[in-house]
Structure 1
Amino acid sequence: MAFEPTKDRPVLSDKVKHGIMGKILDTVSPYTEADPAGIVATTLATYSCMIGTGRKIKGPITQPINCWFILMGETGIGRKGTADNVVASYMSGIDSYFWENCRTPSLSSGEGLTYSVRDVKLSDNMGVGENYEMEEGLPNVESVKQMLVTSTEFAGVMSKSQGGTLGPVLRDAWDGKNLAIHTKDAYHSTEPHITVLGHVTPTEFGTKLKSHDMAGGTYNRFLPMFVEMPHELPWPERPDDYEEQLKDITDNLRNAFYFGTEEGTVTFGEEAKQFYVSVIYPEYNDTREDSETMKQFTTRRLPYVMRVAATYALMNNRDVISREDLEAAKSVVDYSIESARYIEGNIVTVKAPKGATKVPFEEDIQLLKEALEQAGEEGLSRHHISYNVFGNRRIRHEVDAMLLKLEAKKRRVPLPTGRPREVVYLPVAD
């Protein structure tokens, strides 16, 4: 049977095709099974890593230009590796040193990650207040500190980030902080620039969408991107000048690479600033309608839209963010949030408690819908839903996913004493 793309999957806006990104997608997308969302994410991550720490974004907050993504796609049809190969076809020729020395598939521990970009080693007999001393044979603090980590087994990384050193180191790396693991063989990294690109299946990702896994704040450093091949191409018939078109893209990006590595700041143009203040900030700052799980992904969308916009600007040889840069960045971030919502609403992530009757997720969604319809405008409390509707077999995260799928609303009902009670209800159709 021929492959058919998922009908209710997130949709990537054409606004991402701004500047050089538009040329990239127009050139390669018709001749690859890679999802355009995967190509966009991998390109942004790779470029943002290659330029290093010379540039900073100067806006409401000052932050590094560094974009982390998780590509979420089923094995085979997700074509996550295909997206990597496509991006390599035009990015690998930009800077041979980076491509040969600053990429790794390894992300096993905080110590290992710090070691990969180390600059000094603490001496065994160092006293309090003494200076770091150089380890023989290691690069000095002025050396290249970029490291692009492409983890094709990111589910394992997500497990390791809880309780060990990897989670804190990843958080510091995203924030642009110096790295140090204080163990017997402690390594220090000054001004590292680490970019992480994870590959995972939706089911693997869904199993991590539990509150205790999300609470550490590591995952909200990533933009999750749903990927699936848009079409079948058993034998792509590329035009005769395809390689020349790729070379032209590489040449343009090489110029943008040199421009991006210069010292300085990326600022907001006046029109971009007004668009951020009047449109993006009000929309992104309000997370009241998001579930607790979704808030893990929405809390950093404001800083992320700036990072992606700055990357767009630099890729087009500009150090001033335009409104079009921001619109493209917002499209990327919006797609990321919709990807997380799609996974949350469609993947069964938590097993029923031991001894409980296992009921298919879709059957419980229908059960909840019928209960809410019967309750009408009065709605139901979460306590009632958990205990009376589901008999305590569904946890809060699962209930949140069902309510999101049913497009339920919530409101607070005043009580004679104490705090108002929150109820959820289904809006009456017009």
Structure 2
Amino acid sequence: MDERRAQAAIDREAIGKSDGQQRRTPAKRTPKPMAQEAYHGVVGEIVERVAPHTESSREALLVDALAQLGNCMDRGPHGFASGSRHGVNDFFVLVGPSGSGRKGGSHGHTRRLMGDVDPQWAAKCIKGGLSSGEGIVHHVRDAREKNGEVVDPGVLDKRLLCYEPEYGSVLTVMQRRGSTLSTQMRQAWDVGDLGVLTKHLSERATDVHFSLLAHITNLELQAMMSDLQAANGYGNRHLFFWVERRQYLPDGGGLPSFDSLAPRLSDVVNKAGRLHLYERDGDAKAVWAEVYPELTADRPGITGAITARGEAHALRLQILYAALDGSEVIRPEHVFAALEVVRYAHDTARFIFGNKTGNKDADRILESLIAEGPKPRSELFLIFKNNIPAARLQTALDLLVEYRLAWSEQREPEEGGHKPIEVWTATDW
């Protein structure tokens, strides 16, 4: 161990003292509020009516309304990208401080409105308590026959919005051995055809319209969204939204009036229920072509994994905004609205996850490189007080390279007589 310390000191001296000067790590900033483009159309009107009566942020109100309306519309409005079908259902998670984030204050008012828009949907299609993949399948199961007779009529309405105000408990369930919850939810997001086959039960669910609206604290999300969940594509089927309290209402606020809004929304939802393929018009195609390269660019770390489906989420939101407008095509304003929602979600991911990889060794190394500047490889052992095997250190470094969070180079020492030194530097991104 003493030899490693001595070698680290020699290498540090050899590459020059300037690299050892401490850097100031910039403070993390919360996402910039959503611009007005996101509040396009009727969802913006919902936000304007509800905002004076709740402590929740405008972002929380908007996301809640989009989630409920998108599920209520069913599978009629849809589009295609790279051969994959995308509807107006999605997975939205509101993230904020415990209690003071006022995550739940956004839900009640919109749910009351939706009770007037589609009473059957509001009464039967919003459920909570996700605990197993089998449970999801059962709640939207197909009819089942045996020997030519119907033994289970199944569920005719395949719309299902899972409202989970304690999403941390759902992530805990997913980590249990043998849990199929993550797999079934991914299938529900992708194609809407689910199935479960066990010794005692075989159920299928086809043409499912499944959405998620959930709440979680930022600390829970950081601790529980592991690198595996990000890598296997579960995390990037979500959009995460940072929410904070925006005002104080000691008396709790009143009830907003939805008098003329509910009938209009009911007409919009009924019209959107028809099967319709959405495509962008010429102007919208031009806007989309301009932003597409940046939206689909590779990004490092867990943040990159979480935001990897940005174009798919954007398409779903474009269709939803167009359907809410009663439009037959996606217009530029629908593209701009969707992009602003996705921008805010991606900024939230960067704020929550930063440069984290999900590997504790790699994260410690990266934090040190960011705070203190480039380090010779021999000095990296000292981060762990020399209590890390060389193979484990190499695994961590390989991960940093894979995620493009750090890189190495061979440097010649300032004075002769010393072999080239491997120096590690954090990527500036």
TM-score exceeds 0.5 = yes
Contact kept in structure 1, 2:225 and 2:235, CA below 8 Å: no
* Map of 2:335 onto structure 1: 326
Equivalent residue pairs, number:
381
TM-superposition CA deviations, 1:167-217 (whole Å, max 9, x none): 111011001231110112111112111111111111111112331332322
- Selected match of 1:283 from 270, 273, 294: 294
Ranges in structure 1 where 5+ consecutive residues have no aligned partner: 1-5, 127-131, 354-360
What amino acid maps onto 1:188 in structure 2? R
**Change beyond 3 A, Cα 1:415–1:175:** farther
Work out whether 1:179 is the aligned partner of 2:179.
no
* Map of 1:48 onto structure 2: 70
- Selected match of 2:313 from 304, 308, 320: 304
* Map of 2:251 onto structure 1: 235
**Change beyond 3 A, Cα 1:409–1:58:** closer
Work out whether 1:196 is the aligned partner of 2:212.
yes
TM-score by length of 1: 0.78
Q: CA deviation at 1:231?
A: 1.5
**Change beyond 3 A, Cα 1:33–1:397:** farther
* Map of 1:16 onto structure 2: 38
What amino acid maps onto 2:187 in structure 1? D
Contact kept in structure 1, 2:74 and 2:273, CA below 8 Å: yes
TM-score by length of 2: 0.78
- Selected match of 2:235 from 219, 222, 226: 219
Contact kept in structure 2, 1:206 and 1:348, CA below 8 Å: no
TM-superposition CA deviations, 1:282-333 (whole Å, max 9, x none): 111112x432x11222211011000011111111111311111111111111
Contact kept in structure 2, 1:256 and 1:315, CA below 8 Å: yes
TM-superposition CA deviations, 1:30-68 (whole Å, max 9, x none): 331012121111111111111111221145543222121
Pairwise CA RMSD of aligned residues? 3.7
Provide the secondary structure at the position in 1 that maps to 2:33: coil
TM-superposition CA deviations, 1:79-128 (whole Å, max 9, x none): 122111121232221011111111111211011110000112364xx8xx
Instruction: State how far apart, in whole Å, the 2-side matches of 1:77 and 1:326 are.
Output: 32
Q: CA deviation at 1:144?
A: 1.3
* Map of 2:381 onto structure 1: 387
Q: CA deviation at 1:386?
A: 4.9
Instruction: Please identify the structure whose Cα radius of gyration is greater.
Output: 2
What amino acid maps onto 2:269 in structure 1? F
Ranges in structure 2 where 5+ consecutive residues have no aligned partner: 1-26, 413-421
Bigger relative CO (Cα 8 Å, ≥ 6 apart):
2
Contact kept in structure 2, 1:90 and 1:247, CA below 8 Å: no
Q: CA deviation at 1:243?
A: 4.5
- Selected match of 1:102 from 125, 128, 141: 125
* Map of 1:335 onto structure 2: 344
Percent of paired sites with the same residue: 25
Contact kept in structure 2, 1:176 and 1:193, CA below 8 Å: no
Contact kept in structure 2, 1:151 and 1:197, CA below 8 Å: yes
1:65-214 → structure 2 map (5 Å cutoff): 65-121=88-144, 123=146, 134-139=150-155, 143-162=156-175, 163-183=178-198, 184-214=200-230
**Change beyond 3 A, Cα 1:233–1:56:** same
Provide the secondary structure at the position in 1 that maps to 2:150: coil
What amino acid maps onto 1:257 in structure 2? V
Q: CA deviation at 1:338?
A: 1.1
TM-superposition CA deviations, 1:356-388 (whole Å, max 9, x none): xxxxx9x9988544521xx4xxxx57x668534
- Selected match of 1:263 from 275, 278, 298: 275
Q: CA deviation at 1:74?
A: 2.3
**Change beyond 3 A, Cα 1:411–1:232:** same
Contact kept in structure 1, 2:145 and 2:152, CA below 8 Å: no
What amino acid maps onto 2:372 in structure 1? A
What amino acid maps onto 2:220 in structure 1? E
TM-superposition CA deviations, 1:237-280 (whole Å, max 9, x none): 66xxx754x2222222212101110112111111111111122x
Instruction: State how far apart, in whole Å, the 1-side matches of 2:397 and 2:239 are.
Output: 24
Contact kept in structure 2, 1:148 and 1:194, CA below 8 Å: yes
